[in-house]
Copies of this chain bind each other. A is one copy, B any other.
C-alpha cells in the first residue's frame, strides 16, 4: 500500500472514533444540563460502553498496520516524507493517540477509571468536611497509578512529561519549569506594588442582577464576538464548559449568580473564546483527528484572550458599559471608572477559580511545583497540606485556614488530572503573546475593541490559530503566529501595562 493510500484509509477508519467521541460529548453535555437524576447510573454505563468501543477501535490491529504503511514509527511519528503537510500531521496525531492507547493495558485503564471515580466522590466529601486525611489514601493510589502510567508510556527526562503530554502534547516539564521560574519573581513584585497602591472597591459587582438581564447581555456579547448560533448553543450548568458534538455543533454553558455579575459575564465570554476556536477549524479537517484544539494551553489562550485581554479591557467596557447600565438598575449610581476598576481588582485569595489575572498564575505555580514533588516522591501525600500552606505564604502572602480552601479546593487530582494545571498559565502566556502579534499585524488593539471590530480580531485568530486545528503542535503554531516560541515576557508586560493604569502605578 502506498503511504498516501494508507493515510486515506486511516482517515476513514478514524472517522468512527471521532463520531463516537462526539456522541460521548452529547452524553456528557446532557448529563450536565438537562438529565434527570434517575438517569445517573445508566448514563455511566452508556459512557463506559462508548469508552470501550472507542478504545477498541483506536487499538485495533488495522490502525497499527495502516500507520506502518504510512511510514510512521517511533523515530518518525509523522510518517513518510513524501506525504503532504496535513497528511503528516494526521499520521503524527493518529500515531500519538494509537501509541498512548496501545501502551496502556486495559487492566490499568480500568483500575485508573475505578480509582478516580471513587476518589472523586471521596474528594467531594473530604472538601465538604474539610478532612484531608479522608482523601489522602486515594491520592496516594492515584499517584502510584499515574507513575505506572508514565512508566508504561515512557519519557526521556521526567515521568511528569508523560502526564503533561496528555494535556499539552510535545511539551516537557523542564520547559514549563523554566517558563514558570521566569514568571515568579516579576509576578510577586507586581502583586506587592499593587497591594501598596491600596484596595479597589468591587462592591458594585455584588448587587442584584436578574438572570434575564445577564443572559441578555451575555448573548449580545457572544453574538458580537462572532459566535455562530446556527452551529452552537448556550445553556446553563453548575460548572461552565465548552463541548464539541460535531463540526456544526459547539455548545457552551454558563451559570448565573444573581448577586455577582462577573460570574456569568466573564464565564460566557471565556467559553465563547473556546467555542470560537472550535467553530473556526477549517472544514477540510472536519471529521478527522485534526479537527480539535492542538493543546489545552492553546485552547485556554483563546478563552483567556477573549475573557481578559478583550473582556476586561477599558476599551471593551467603553463600548458595553452603557448596555449594562441599560439592563441593570442596580448599576445606576456606578460610574465607568469604578466599574472598570472593580472588574480588575487584584487581591490574593485562596480560591483559584475566583483569582484575578495577576494572582491566578501564582496559584498555578504552586500546584505545578507540588505536583512535581509528589510525582518525584520528594513530597509525601501526608505532608501535602503543610507544603501547600508554605507555598501559599511564599507566593501569595496568605495561608488558608482550612484545607477545603487550600489543598482540597480543586477537583483535578481526584480525577487523576496530574499535569493539567500548567495549561491554565500557558493559556494566559499564549494569549498575551498572541495579542502582541495581533497588534503588530492589525494595529492598536484598543481601537479595534472600542469599535467592536471583533470581525478583524476573529479573522486574525482564525487565520493564525483556529483553522489549523491540530495540524501544528502548540510550539510550532505559536512560532508561526507570533514569530517566536513561548515567551512569558509578553504576559508580564501586558500585566504591568494594564495594572499600572488600573492602580496608578509609576
> Which residues of chain B are near A61, meaning CB under 8 Å?
none
Give how many A residues have a beta carbon under 8 Å from the other chain's beta carbons.
36
Q: Which of A44-52, A110-118, A473-481 has 4 or more CB atoms under 8 Å from chain B?
A: A44-52
Cβ contact within 8 Å between A42 and B23: no
Cβ contact within 8 Å between A39 and B245: yes
Q: Which residue among A37, A46, A231 has the maximum number of chain B CB atoms within 10 Å of its CB?
A: A46
> Which residues of chain B are near A233, meaning CB under 8 Å?
34, 36
A328 contacts partner chain B, Cβ-Cβ < 8 Å: no
Contacting residue for A42 out of B20, B27, B43, B246, CB 8 A: B246
> For the complex, what is the distance from the CA of A35 to the CA of B233, rounded to whole Å?
8
A371 contacts partner chain B, Cβ-Cβ < 8 Å: no
> Which residues of chain B are near A41, meaning CB under 8 Å?
248
Cβ contact within 8 Å between B42 and A249: yes
Indicate with 1 or 0, residue by residue over A3-45, a CB within 8 angstroms of chain B CB atoms.
0000000000000100110110011001000111111111101
Contacting residue for A49 out of B20, B27, B40, B228, CB 8 A: B20
> Which residues of chain B are near A230, meaning CB under 8 Å?
36-38
A170 contacts partner chain B, Cβ-Cβ < 8 Å: no
Find the B residue at minimum CB distance from A40. Answer: B248
| A23-B23, A23-B46, A53-B53 as given contacts; A38 in contact with B228, CB under 8 Å | yes
> For the complex, what is the distance from the CA of A40 to the CA of B30, rounded to whole Å?
18
Cβ contact within 8 Å between A232 and B36: yes
In angstroms, how far is the closest chain B Cβ from the Cβ of A47?
Answer: 9
In angstroms, how far is the closest chain B Cβ from the Cβ of A246?
Answer: 4
A229 contacts partner chain B, Cβ-Cβ < 8 Å: yes
A247 contacts partner chain B, Cβ-Cβ < 8 Å: yes
Find the B residue at minimum CB distance from A53. Answer: B53
Contacting residues of chain A (224-262) with chain B, CB-CB under 8 angstroms: 228-233, 235, 245-249
Contacting residue for A43 out of B20, B40, B43, B246, CB 8 A: B246
Indicate with 1 or 0, residue by residue over A51-91, a CB within 8 angstroms of chain B CB atoms.
00100000000000000000000000000000000000000
> Which residues of chain B are near A39, meaning CB under 8 Å?
231, 245-246, 248-249
In angstroms, how far is the closest chain B Cβ from the Cβ of A454?
Answer: 20
| A23-B23, A26-B26, A26-B30 as given contacts; A229 in contact with B36, CB under 8 Å | yes
Cβ contact within 8 Å between B27 and A231: no
> For the complex, what is the distance from the CA of A402 to the CA of B469, rounded to whole Å?
52
> For the complex, what is the distance from the CA of A231 to the CA of B46, rounded to whole Å?
17
Contacting residue for A27 out of B16, B26, B38, CB 8 A: B26
Find the B residue at minimum CB distance from A23. Answer: B46
> Which residues of chain B are near A22, meaning CB under 8 Å?
42, 46
Cβ contact within 8 Å between B27 and A30: no
> For the complex, what is the distance from the CA of A49 to the CA of B233, rounded to whole Å?
24
In angstroms, how far is the closest chain B Cβ from the Cβ of A36?
Answer: 6
Cβ contact within 8 Å between A19 and B49: yes
> For the complex, what is the distance from the CA of A39 to the CA of B230, rounded to whole Å?
9
> For the complex, what is the distance from the CA of A49 to the CA of B287, rounded to whole Å?
14
Find the B residue at minimum CB distance from A287. Answer: B42
In angstroms, how far is the closest chain B Cβ from the Cβ of A326?
Answer: 25
In angstroms, how far is the closest chain B Cβ from the Cβ of A179?
Answer: 38
Contacting residue for A38 out of B16, B35, B50, B248, CB 8 A: B248
Indicate with 1 or 0, residue by residue over A211-229, a CB within 8 angstroms of chain B CB atoms.
0000000000000000011
> Which residues of chain B are near A35, meaning CB under 8 Å?
249
> For the complex, what is the distance from the CA of A23 to the CA of B39, rounded to whole Å?
12
Cβ contact within 8 Å between A27 and B19: no
Cβ contact within 8 Å between A23 and B38: no
Find the B residue at minimum CB distance from A52. Answer: B16
> Which residues of chain B are near A248, meaning CB under 8 Å?
36-42
> For the complex, what is the distance from the CA of A41 to the CA of B249, rounded to whole Å?
10
In angstroms, how far is the closest chain B Cβ from the Cβ of A352?
Answer: 31
> Which residues of chain B are near A27, meaning CB under 8 Å?
23, 26
> Which residues of chain B are near A45, meaning CB under 8 Å?
19
| List of 7 A-B pairs having minimum Cβ-Cβ separation, nearest first | A38-B248, A39-B249, A38-B231, A42-B246, A39-B248, A39-B246, A38-B230
Known: A30-B30, A38-B248, A43-B249. 6 other contacts (CB 8 A): A23-B23, A36-B233, A38-B231, A39-B231, A39-B249, A40-B248
A-B contacts, 5 listed (Cβ < 8 Å)? A38-B230, A39-B249, A42-B245, A42-B246, A42-B249
Chain A interface (Cβ < 8 Å from any Cβ of B): 16, 19-20, 22-23, 26-27, 30, 34-43, 45-46, 49-50, 53, 228-233, 235, 245-249, 287
